Structure 1
Amino acid sequence: MPENGFANGGRSQEIMDSGKSAESGRCFSWPRRRCFLCILLVAAIWVFYNTNIMEMTADWKPKWWMQNNTAKWWMQNNTAKWWMQFKSATYMEIPPNTTDVNTNTSDSSPAVPQTEVVHLTENPPVPTAEAPLVTQLTTQNKAVLPTPIPYVSPGPYSVEYPYEYHFIINEPNKCEQQKPFVVLMVPVAPHNREHRDIIRSTWGSESTVLGKVVKLFFLLALHPGEGAEQIQQQLLQESREHQDLIQSDFLDCYKNLTIKTMVMLEWLDSHCSSASYAMKIDSDTFLNLNNLVNMLLNAPKDNYMTGLVATGAQVLRDPRSKWYLPVSVFPESHYPRYALGLGYVLSLDLPKKLVEASRHVKPVYIEDVYLGLCMRHLGISPTNPPNWNLFHVSPLFYNRCAYSNIIVTTANENTDRVWVWKDFKRPQPFC
């Protein structure tokens, strides 16, 4: 060690100085000569050793060595402690059958202070079922570190919930600031900017209806395919422009609609419980907000869920069906009452209750059915709407009179929804 070389040199000088004092004025005796020769030998070794080190590492410095080797030592001895400390940090769940991406029904100015944005690290890996994506997420003020827990699939007809998902883009203070009467929650695929812009320019543009505040949010997860990093950067920019995106850290695909719905309920309970009602509505729809608010002015305040309520719906056993469930997953032949997912309304006391019920009800990938199962667990039945004609799961052909008497309808794929909205809002009698 270099430190030994320096110590030996100091020790040699000390012995030489003491020898001079003792032998002053006399010749050296043999024992003292032998001691002197030993001293010379030690000194020669010290000079050779240090010269060799300097030749090998001309820029060697003790401070540099301590900095680099101390860091290596710390890493070797503290890695296990580091992983244990962040055991509960962000983990991205990758469910099976994630190639069926829902693109429709479900699926630069400075950021405003209430917008909470978490940035993905550069060059994130592409998620696959075999290699779950574990992403380090960082905020402006802190880092959320990943937990390397191996993914275990819950099966093709179940989903990973409950689970501690996190929000990457959030609007945590909007409800508190604007105090809406009804909150519109629109699940949409991350890449589907077109649907979001159409909604923003049509029924999503109405912020006050019949004297009541209406607030719109889009609910997203992570893009599952190629170009994920580019889409994520576009979403961050879109969030800065509109402040209406809420994004969580699971994979966005049709099989994960139940996760998206439950994360939506978690968000409503945490950040929007002061509102009176929320409506989950698909992104390819037409919404008549006047009729919605008018219905809610006379609706119950507690334990209330309504929409197009299905009663006695049969479980589909054909494996070719998009909504197939095997007997091993759901042995009952019929579902309990549930409100169809195109658009359902609930009072804001229900999100907390439904999240709690989900801890006791096995999750399936059909999100509206799963909410029906949770409602049954709570002993609460969805309420029939005042008029069955208010909710249309099949596209309703547009005319102003028909659309003036509904709350929501699925739009035809080729419908120009912006034109429909402008025509519908013309200041003329509907019928």
Structure 2
Amino acid sequence: MVQRCKQRRLWKSNGGCRSLRSCIIFIILPILFLCYYILGNEISETWMSTVGLFLPETFTNKSYYVAYPHKYNFIINEPEKCQKENAFVVLMIPVAPSNTAAREAIRSTWGTEKLVGDKIVIVLFLLGLPISQDSGKLQEDLLQESEKYHDLLQSDFWDSYNNLTIKTIVMLEWLSTYCQNASYAMKVDSDVFLNVKNLVNMLLSAPKQNYMTGHVYRTALVRRNPRSKWYLPKKVYSSFLFPPYALGFGYVFSLDLTGKLVEAAQLVKPVYIEDVFLGLCMKHLGIALTDPPEQSLFNVFPVKYNRCLYSKLIVTTTQSLKDQVEFWRDLQTPGPYC
């Protein structure tokens, strides 16, 4: 009987310990969860290194800013393009070297609109170096494509998402060096629908100097959560708000800005979020961004196709290249828009 009582007391004691441990675990786990998922916006790199064991390697080893300034050279160039064609507006389209389909889609749709009234429009694709395993073959194909169309610009930086800031500054360097006779340029992504006529018509009454417009964000919060695609730690950018900037899917600027932005880029700490970086450069220059005449002209989210709506906007992202082509072709057919 005595032995049985001892066993019961021991069982209760062990059970109590297990219960206590369980309670502690159930208290600590939610706290860690809150710190990791909810308080991520205020997370610091020191704290990250402390709990790095629990963070995916993708986040803990990420590079947060790019190496700029640096001297990049053009492997494929069209140095006389602007002078020969006396451009009014230059459409600069950053695109991956391997994305031939996007280039062909643009060449067969809005990229064909080279003359609006008496205003000449130039289309150029901007690329870096391919980083795929078949980069040698791809580079040969790009040289052949350049010989055929004469609309490629390629510089010697690795073409990747984290190098978009480099790509953007290289674009500005090219425009500043080879295209000062043009009035305006537009950086436009390859996955958008562009109404070139409406773009030119807007620019006919736009300022000639210190002009940048698009879908302008004025109160964008800095992402402090390391799980975010746009995460920036405080040591890279300390403020909790970004300065005003035009979203990178499509923004327009006067050509006098190119040299000024290139100079500012030598002094502003670079970040890999390219449109934010241009906003930082504009702030450094003390130049305000201009809102478009109507907010509906620049659409960061895909606009459902409607012939009337698409006849009035300037740019919208699309769900696919197929949509991009079909929408443009439908808009070219004769008949009333609305």
TM-score (ref. length: structure 2) = 0.81
Instruction: State the Cα distance separating 1:424 from its structure 2 match.
Output: 0.8
Match of 2:230 in 1: 323
Is 1:390 aligned to 2:259, yes or no?
no
1:291 to 198, 210, 217: 198
Is the aligned partner of 1:348 residue 2:291? no
Deviating runs (4+, > 3 A) in structure 1?
Answer: none
Partner of 1:117: none
Q: CA deviation digits over 1:360-398, x for unaligned, max 9?
A: 100000000000000000000110000000000001111
Residue 197 of structure 1 deviates from its aligned partner by 0.3
Partners of 1:414 and 1:358 in 2: how far apart?
Answer: 33
Letter in 1 for 2:220: A
Q: CA deviation at 1:354?
A: 0.2
Specify the alignment match of 2:27 in structure 1. Answer: none
Are the aligned partners of 1:285 and 1:408 in contact in 2 as well (CA < 8 Å)? Answer: yes
Q: CA deviation at 1:175?
A: 0.3
Residue 46 of structure 2 corresponds to which residue in structure 1?
Answer: none
Alpha-carbon contact 2:105-2:321 (below 8 Å) kept: no
C-alpha displacement at 1:414, in angstroms? 6.5
Match of 2:126 among 188, 213, 219: 219
Q: Secondary structure at the match of 1:341?
A: strand
Deviation (angstroms), 1:399: 1.4
Q: Which residue pairs with 1:198 in the alignment?
A: 105
Secondary structure at the aligned position of 1:250 is classed as strand
Q: What residue identity is the alignment partner of 2:133?
A: E
Once the two structures are TM-superposed, the CA of residue 421 in structure 1 deviates from its matched residue by 1.4
What secondary structure sits across from 2:248 in the alignment? coil
Question: In the alignment, which of 319, 322, 326 is matched to residue 412 of structure 1?
Answer: 319
- Tell whether the 8 Å contact from 1:312 to 1:337 is kept in structure 2 after alignment: yes
Q: Would you say the 8 A contact 1:278–1:345 is kept in 2?
A: yes
Output one character per residue of 1:279-314: Cα deviation in whole Å (capped at 9) or x when no partner: 000000000011100000000000000000000110
Q: Which amino acid aligns with 1:358?
A: A
Does 2:212 match 1:305? yes
Structure 1 partner of 2:144: 237
| Residues 214 and 291, structure 2, Cα contact 8 Å, conserved in 1 | yes
Task: Please tell me whether the aligned partners of residues 102 and 321 of structure 2 are also in contact (alpha carbons under 8 angstroms).
Answer: no
The equivalent residue for 2:279 is: 372
Kindly indicate whether residue 82 of structure 2 is the aligned counterpart of residue 175 of structure 1. Answer: yes
Task: For structure 2, list consecutive stretches of 5 or more residues without a partner in the other structure.
Answer: 1-61
Q: Considering only aligned residues, what root-mean-square deviation do their CA atoms show, in Å?
A: 1.1
Contact 1:210 1:293 in 2 (8 A): no
The residue identity in structure 2 corresponding to 1:309 is V
Q: Distance in 1 between matches of 2:80 and 2:259?
A: 18
Query: How do residues 8-27 of structure 1 correspond to structure 2 at under 5 angstroms?
Result: none
Structure 1 position 164 matched with structure 2 position 81: no
Question: Structure 1: where are the runs of 5+ without partners?
Answer: 1-154
- Give the 3-state SS of the residue equivalent to 1:194 in structure 2: helix
Q: Is the Cα contact below 8 Å between 2:125 and 2:152 reproduced in 1?
A: yes
Secondary structure of the 1:339 match is strand
- Contact 2:68/2:270 (<8 A) preserved: yes
1:6-45 to 2 correspondences below 5 Å: none
Q: 2:172 aligned with 1:272, yes or no?
A: no
Pick 1 or 2: higher relative contact order, CA cutoff 8 A, min separation 6: 2
Cα displacement (A) at 1:346: 0.3
* Maintained 8 Å contact 2:92/2:188: yes
CA distance in 1, matches of 2:214, 2:321: 25
Query: 1: CA distance between counterparts of 2:130 and 2:304?
Result: 33
Partner secondary structure for residue 236 of structure 1: helix
* SS in structure 1 at match of 2:259: helix
* Count of matched residue pairs: 278
Decide which structure has the larger Cα Rg and report it: 1
- Cα distance in 2 for partners of 1:402, 1:184 equals 22
The separation in 2 between residues aligned to 1:277 and 1:371, in whole angstroms, is 16
More helix, by proportion: 2
